[in-house]
Amino acid sequence: MTTRELNKNLLKNGSYINGVWHNSDASKFEVSNPATGNNIIAVSSASADDTTQAVDAAVAAMPAWRAKTAKQRAEVLHRWFELIMQHQDDLAAILTAEQGKPLTEARGEIAYGANYIQWFSEEAKRIYGDTIPGASPGSRVVVIKQGVGVVSAITPWNFPNAMITRKAAPALAAGCAFVVKAASETPLSALALAELGEQAGIPAGIFNVIVSDNARAVGNVLTGDPRIAKFTFTGSTAVGKKLLEQCASTVKKTSMELGGNAPFIVFDDADLDAAVQGAMVSKFRNAGQTCVCSNRLFVQSGVYQKFSEKLVHAVNKLKMGDGSDSNVDIGPLINLEAAESVSELVAQALKGGAKTLVGGAVNEPGSRYFQATVLSNVTADMSVATEEIFGPVAPLIKFETEEEVIGLANDTDVGLASYIYTRDIGRVWRVCEALEYGMVGINEGIISNEMAPFGGVKQSGMGREGSKYGIEDYLEIKYLCMGGLDR
Ligand code: NAP
């Protein structure tokens, strides 16, 4: 793919602050295509001062936005949703170019991301409060919910569209103004969203996108400015912890969508073909670079051999290459460091006694393309099982009993997604209730959609995105005590 094929109207090269595009030659960085290593475009890098300007704009713009009726805000959001869907192919091409996922997946992400905008445009109208009987005959208690205030966000490169819409949509629906720093590897999808947001009628200052290669400086403003009421982050647990600390000094409301280490559990009574299909989508989607990717595949001893054979058979059919080729199933990893880190995890596993059933290495030395890999004879203490792989490697771990696998699955500090395959309804309930995870896929490998509350427990974070719960993180509860009503 060349940049000429990308829609120039959506291809922006600087931050979007207060409705104005900021392009300056002062400091630029290149956005490159992970499939080819070629540069797509140079973008201006925003500074801490630029970020403060975006916060100024958000503070100034918010009162008028919040004063609109929920229906008016919903109409703007709905137009944004429609424009995104009208430009689905253009947005997918930009996403694939900067992130590397195959075009079909990129189109899927655009629709997935847009669905959150549609969903929250509807939820805007359902921000209900309560009336509560009072403590005395002359009193009544009324609870209202109001937008929390200015919201700041930092998002990762693996879903450069949807990780933004999942946060911006509930924020805007609730009457908040929003400032997001996009990942430096993938700023273009975020900027394209801003362009369509402007066309949809989002007022200047309400949706601001900062692109920068100085995450720390921008992050200091987004976590430290006292005018920001809420900070929301999606990214690694390590960075999330740091940013959470930074938010403490101004006691910001926070939500954190952090890393996972998803167990994928296949019991002897599972429908094996369904389990293999689930493993393929939950493991190899986005070349294994999602926070809900299966990270440890626990397979009961009775079906271990059969499941491995079927999985290897399916993996052998995957076509790796540049995601802009519509026949490609699996693209490159985001950068060379990612490929090196996955190679290291596999090398350590092999040293510890694991065996490669398929794949096992980068295509050629120095490549970002890591082959779809299945490892057998993995044990739960190997780093490939204790760390988030973020690559297309499926480590198979054999287990004997339900009790044993629950213990193994929960033996981690994180708890985002988990998956179980079984036909036994009693086991479904027992295992689901015992798993220390925010989400469980039951005979299902794709679990995320706008109707469902997405989020984790333990060090996978706090808060939920999507569903009727998703807007709660952007609302404050205000209690009105009404007295003297009996006089
Ligand atoms: P990351 O390294 O934590 O980066 C995420 C974002 O944080 C990027 O925008 C990055 O900016 C920024 N950042 C990094 N250091 C910072 C600092 N000191 N101050 C302020 N901002 C900083 O994570 P990633 O590698 O992009 O994404 C992968 C991780 O995200 C995985 O752990 C994955 O599980 C997690 N994730 C979680 C969810 C979820 O919903 N739970 C969803 C998707 C991904 P730069 O790009 O400029 O470095």
Residue 157 Cβ inside 6 Å of ligand 1? The answer reads yes
Ligand 1 atom closest to 218 (CA): 20
Ligand 1 atom closest to 260 (CA): 34
Ligand 1 atom closest to 416 (CA): 41
DSSP letter for 157, please: S
- Residue 460 contacts by C-beta under 8 Å, 6 or more apart in sequence? 237, 257, 258, 259, 260, 291, 414, 415, 416, 438
- The amino acid that residue 99 corresponds to is Q
Give the pLDDT confidence score for residue 232 in this predicted structure.
Answer: 98
Q: Where are the alpha helices (DSSP H) in 249-374?
A: 272-284, 304-316, 336-351
C-alpha–C-alpha distance, residues 225 and 232, integer Å? 14
Q: What is the pLDDT of residues 467-482, one digit of tens each?
A: 999 999 999 999 999 9
Percentage with pLDDT > 70 across the chain: 99
Question: Where residue 4 falls among pLDDT bands split at 50, 70, 90?
Answer: very low
CA distances from 50 to 246, 277, 376, 391 (A): 19, 47, 50, 35
Question: Where residue 24 falls among pLDDT bands split at 50, 70, 90?
Answer: confident
Residue 235 Cβ inside 6 Å of ligand 1? The answer reads yes
Burial class (CB in 10 A: 0-12, 13-18, 19+), 139: middle
Q: What is the mean pLDDT of residues 336-344?
A: 98
Residue 291 catalytic? Answer: yes
C-alpha–C-alpha distance, residues 256 and 244, integer Å? 8
Residue 3 has pLDDT above 80, yes or no: no
CA of 403 to the centre of ligand 1 (A): 34
Task: Name the residue of 158, 223, 390 whose CB sits within 8 Å of the most ligand 1 atoms, as the mutation to test its pocket.
Answer: 158
C-alpha–C-alpha distance, residues 58 and 206, integer Å? 6
- Residue 401 contacts by C-beta under 8 Å, 6 or more apart in sequence? none
Residue 276 · residue 311 · CB < 8 Å: yes
**Three-state DSSP state, 92:** helix
Q: What is the mean pLDDT of residues 296-320?
A: 98
Give the pLDDT confidence score for residue 487 in this predicted structure.
Answer: 87
Average pLDDT across the chain, whole number: 97
C-alpha–C-alpha distance, residues 209 and 206, integer Å? 10
Give the pLDDT confidence score for residue 469 in this predicted structure.
Answer: 97
C-alpha–C-alpha distance, residues 475 and 464, integer Å? 13
Tell me if domain 3-258+461-478 and domain 262-449 are identical in fold.
no
- Written as six digits, the tokens of 50 are 């630029």
Residue 185 · residue 99 · CB < 8 Å: yes
CA of 127 to the centre of ligand 1 (A): 30
Nearest Cα residue to atom 46 of ligand 1: 183
Out of 195, 257, 388, 450, pick the active-site residue. 257
Helices 48-67 and 215-224: crossing angle in degrees, nearest 10, is: 40
Out of 291, 293, 465, 472, pick the active-site residue. 291
Q: What is the mean pLDDT of residues 124-150?
A: 96
Residue 432 catalytic? Answer: no
Q: What is the mean pLDDT of residues 134-147?
A: 96
CA of 338 to the centre of ligand 1 (A): 13
CA 170 to centroid of chain Cα atoms:
15
CA of 155 to the centre of ligand 1 (A): 6
CA of 161 to the centre of ligand 1 (A): 14
Specify the fold of 262-449. Aldehyde Dehydrogenase; Chain A, domain 2 (3.40.309)
Residue 98 · residue 188 · CB < 8 Å: yes
Q: What residue spans define the domains of the chain?
A: 3-258+461-478, 262-449
Closest C-alpha to 252, from 226, 233, 215: 226
Question: Where residue 6 falls among pLDDT bands split at 50, 70, 90?
Answer: very high
pTM of the predicted structure, to 2 decimals: 0.97
Task: Name the residue of 179, 180, 291, 473 whose CB sits within 8 Å of the most ligand 1 atoms, as the mutation to test its pocket.
Answer: 291
CA of 52 to the centre of ligand 1 (A): 21
CA of 226 to the centre of ligand 1 (A): 23
C-alpha–C-alpha distance, residues 197 and 114, integer Å? 12
3-state SS, one letter per residue, for 414-432 = EECEEEEECCCHHHHHHHH
Rounded to 5 degrees, φ, ψ at 3 are -65, -25
- Residue 86 contacts by C-beta under 8 Å, 6 or more apart in sequence? none
Q: What is the mean pLDDT of residues 212-240?
A: 98
- Written as six digits, the tokens of 456 are 């984790």
**Three-state DSSP state, 295:** strand
Q: What is the pLDDT of residues 358-406, one digit of tens each?
A: 999 999 999 999 999 999 999 999 999 999 999 999 999 999 999 999 9
3-state SS, one letter per residue, for 26-75 = CCEEEEECCCCCCEEEEEECCCHHHHHHHHHHHHHHHHHHHHCCHHHHHH
Closest C-alpha to 152, from 50, 239, 253: 253
Residue 215 Cβ inside 6 Å of ligand 1? The answer reads yes
Nearest Cα residue to atom 20 of ligand 1: 219
- Residue 308 contacts by C-beta under 8 Å, 6 or more apart in sequence? 299, 357, 374, 376, 396
Residue 457 Cβ inside 6 Å of ligand 1? The answer reads no
Residue 263 Cβ inside 6 Å of ligand 1? The answer reads no
Residue 257 Cβ inside 6 Å of ligand 1? The answer reads yes
Residue 160 Cβ inside 6 Å of ligand 1? The answer reads no
Which segments of 332-424 are extended strands (E)? 355-358, 373-376, 393-399, 414-415, 417-421
CA of 253 to the centre of ligand 1 (A): 19
Looking at the DSSP assignment, which residues form a beta bridge with residue 233? 154, 256
Residue 5 has pLDDT above 90, yes or no: no
Supply the Cα-derived Rg of the chain in whole angstroms.
Answer: 23
Residue 113 has pLDDT above 70, yes or no: yes
Residue 156 Cβ inside 6 Å of ligand 1? The answer reads yes
CA of 236 to the centre of ligand 1 (A): 5
Task: Name the residue of 116, 154, 159, 209 whose CB sits within 8 Å of the most ligand 1 atoms, as the mutation to test its pocket.
Answer: 154
Give the pLDDT confidence score for residue 25 in this predicted structure.
Answer: 86
Residue 266 has pLDDT above 70, yes or no: yes
Scan for tokens 């296949």, then name that residue: 266
C-alpha–C-alpha distance, residues 52 and 208, integer Å? 11
Taking domain 3-258+461-478, whether its CATH number is 3.90.1150.10 is answered by no
Question: Where residue 35 falls among pLDDT bands split at 50, 70, 90?
Answer: very high
Residue 260 Cβ inside 6 Å of ligand 1? The answer reads yes
Nearest Cα residue to atom 9 of ligand 1: 183
